[in-house]
Chains A and B, each alone.
Chain A
Amino acid sequence: MVTSPKLQAQHVWKIFGDRRDAEVVAVQDLSLYVGDNEFVSLVGPSGCGKSTLLMMAAGLEPISAGDILIDGRPITGPGADRGMVFQSYTLFPWLSVEDNIRFALKKSSLPRSEQDALVREHIQLVGLNGFERAYPNQLSGGMRQRVAIARALVYKPQMLLMDEPFGALDAQTRLQMQELLLNVWQAHRTTVLFITHDVEEALLLSDRIYVMTARPGRIKAEIVVDLPRPRNLLETESDPRFAALRRQVLTLIREEAQRSVGAPMTPV
């Protein structure tokens, strides 16, 4: 099956610093693509340039060389066609849950009543009924990220960019959130580029996984996750192919992690 890429990065470079002797090559000649309605994860050692790549895709960070195309057109800046969820909490603390979600519709031309319906629908979607009027400082970490996800979905961007959205959560909440995202995505297919440290999370959610090298970040490997859909936490993780894929990805990451700290490589 050939899908037309929604997002395509072509020989992308990112170099920080303008002095030649003090520059940091964060991303080096990186190419990847994300198909229409495809869920793609990006894993790799800490500091390898994952966030930088995502920021460039969002149009929030200039690209040093190469191109990132959306539907074949180079991106020129941030836009409402790409929704983003950050690892840190980015809710507006002075707005209630409801108004945080509604904020994303500021540029929408829909009539007020339809906006209200959308907000209600998305509160439902992330299971926050009853918390419409609560403020972010009254919510747990998992609930805050659920609001952030609802806020990134409500204005129906053509793709979602997610930078370790569950990275700061405890293991229990994390599992709940993975299941939530899995269900939301399976119900409302959309294009997702997802960064994570967690290999199991990547396998559970993704159609494909890119493994990045240690900095300067390049693509080390591409892994197709051919686990059947619809997936769910219990069944998918007990699939024998899940264990094999997990081992494969972990081996790749381990090589890079060892390379980046300069330790000798040991056979796995």
Chain B
Amino acid sequence: MSQPDSSLRPAELRRPPVRLLDLRADIPRRWYVGAGVAFIAIFLFAWTAATWLQLVSPIFLPSPGAVLTELQDQATSGILWQDLWASVYRIMVGWVISTALAVPIGVLMGNFRFFEGLFEPFVDLVRYMPAVAFVPLTILWLGVGDTQKFAILFIGVFFQQVLLIMDNVKTVPRDMIQVSYTFGLSRWEILRSVILPAAMPGVWDTFRITVGWAWTYLVVAELVAANVGLGYRIMRAQRFLETDQIILGILIIGLLGLLTDYLFKWSYRRLFPWALQSR
């Protein structure tokens, strides 16, 4: 029996037909990206059409042009940059404080049943309390400065974050910990050089998700007792029915949220290449 020379590549390769809706199958990148772009384009088109044809009153829905004009006005007058800076600063500080506490506490809870028993009932209780309801209390306790804004962001993020980090730590396989004992390592050495690095990709994802939540709590934080900030701008515009300002604010918050999300996704791929295919 003679084997064909394997180095002779067939002149033509059979290409499987592209089925867009195959279960779990990959699709060409241009379809994947194109679909997302097209969807947003349709949305923008519908918005433009609805306002252009005056299907809705500009009071309810301003045209994209009006929102762009508003953007230009705010940018030239400098309001936009002030708001941006104030809000980004509050989100950063609020989220960093929350994270700086959630990581050690979550790590303790994920590793030691004692700490899980100690904190979980309390955390579970508080995380269902509405952050908005804390606005008057935090003003009473902390005044009207930035500290109060940090506190609201903290309350909104921390209690969920701590539970997510606990779960991230618990996903580290038990056998991986056991085998480390057989190398003669102590509990603390295993915690530091096995459990933490193993849990890190999951924790990074938690960071990404919780920063997103911080953005959604921004309006709540700037609800009262603020005179600058993206959330404040929205609340103020609401009083004067300046819908173009409201929509501009919402869009900016949305875009900034998207940007932070993307930064975390991008750094995840850079930091944890080893975690990518193994899922």
Contacts and interface: CB of A to CB of B under 8 A. Distances in A.
Interface string A142-179: 00000000001001010000000000000000000000
Contacts of B75: none
A92 interface: yes
B3 interface: no
B73 interface: no
A106 B275 contact: no
Contacts of B275: 93-94, 137
Contact of B274 (A55, A60, A103, A136): A136
Bin chain B's interface residue count.
20 to 34
A136 B278 contact: yes
Contacts of A58: 178, 181-182
B277 to A, nearest CB: 5
Contact of A90 (B179, B273, B274, B276): B179
A86 B179 contact: yes
A79 B184 contact: yes
Given A80-B182, A107-B183, A88 B189 contact: no
Contact of A94 (B179, B189, B274): B274
Interface string B186-209: 000100011001101000000000
Chain B facing A: main interface SS: helix
Interface centre among B179, B198, B200 (most CB of A within 10 A): B179
A236 to B, nearest CB: 30
A104 interface: yes
Contact of B182 (A82, A92, A94, A138): A82
A85 to B, nearest CB: 8
B178 A84 contact: yes
Bin chain A's interface residue count.
20 to 34
B60 interface: no
A152 B178 CA distance: 13
A92 B277 CA distance: 14
B278 A155 contact: no
B188 to A, nearest CB: 13
A157 B184 CA distance: 10
Interface string A39-59: 000000000000000010011
Contact of A106 (B173, B183, B276, B278): B183
Interface string A59-75: 11000000000000000
Contacts of A86: 175, 178-179
Contacts of B272: 94
A217 interface: no
Nearest to A58: B182
Nearest to B182: A84
A90 B178 CA distance: 9
Nearest to A93: B274
Interface of A: 55, 58-60, 78-80, 82-84, 86, 88, 90, 92-94, 103-104, 106-107, 135-138, 152, 155, 157
Given A55-B178, A84-B182, A137-B277, 5 more contacts: A60-B178, A90-B173, A94-B197, A106-B184, A136-B278
Interchain residue pairs A-B with the least CB separation, the first 8: A80-B184, A78-B181, A137-B278, A107-B184, A90-B179, A84-B182, A135-B274, A90-B175
Interface of B: 173, 175-176, 178-179, 181-185, 189, 193-194, 197-198, 200, 272-278
8 contacts: A83-B182, A84-B178, A94-B274, A106-B183, A106-B185, A107-B183, A107-B184, A155-B183
